[in-house]
Amino acid sequence: MQARRLEITGAYEFTPKSFPDRRGLFVAPFQEAAFVDATGHPLRVAQTNHSVSARNVVRGVHFSDVPPGQAKYVYCPQGALLDVVVDIRVGSPTFGRWEAARLDSTEYRAFYLAEGLGHAFVALTDDTVMNYLCSTPYNPAAEHGIDPLDPDLGLPWSDLDGEPILSEKDRTAPGLAQAAEQGMLPDYETCLAHYESLRDRG
């Protein structure tokens, strides 16, 4: 398993080895030892999520209140998608920046997004599956979104062959600046303190 720390603090990319043979293929998209070595703490899994999306479906930008927040370890076991991590933590040196990678059922690359980071993706094929390992259960009162089409964010949907397909909730979500004005966004220092507490707990 290869691990790469992204420029956005709290975000990592993991690439496992796969083992194809005449029967098919075996791969372990999540490996605790590699995860702990990269992040300094284990991943508590309180819930797993599974979504299926048609081509050009955009989901996100989603995030949760911190504390407790919801960290996510995501990978694509079927199809292909462009996954995006967005730094929405007020006070972060990379606030408003994003990084993206193709996740697919060829390389089984995964993204880890620590609490307080925004998450979005677009499905590049029909019947694209996303699997999520989540550190906390779903809490609708603590869940929020930012408009994934916000021109100030400039997320990488421009290469889509067709119009993006969004839920009504995502389409009507505030832009990043509006969310900041409304006090919706996580605080960077609070998030850093939370990450340190995870490492202390080991």
165, HSE (Cβ side, Cα atoms, 13 Å):
11
Active site residue 75: no
Collapse the DSSP code of 87 into the 3-class scheme (helix H, G, I; strand E, B; otherwise coil) and give the result: coil
Is the Cβ–Cβ distance between 37 and 129 less than 8 Å? no
- Rounded to whole angstroms, the Cα distance separating 124 from 7 reads 25
Spatial neighbors of 118 by CB under 8 A, at least 6 apart, are 60, 61, 62, 63, 85, 86, 87, 88, 146
Active site residue 12: no
- Rounded to whole angstroms, the Cα distance separating 90 from 41 reads 24
Among 62, 119, 144, 194, the one annotated catalytic: 62
Collapse the DSSP code of 39 into the 3-class scheme (helix H, G, I; strand E, B; otherwise coil) and give the result: helix
CA distances from 169 to 3, 59, 61, 139, 145 (A): 34, 10, 11, 16, 8
Is the Cβ–Cβ distance between 115 and 9 less than 8 Å? no
- Rounded to whole angstroms, the Cα distance separating 161 from 147 reads 20
- Residues carrying an active site annotation: 62, 132
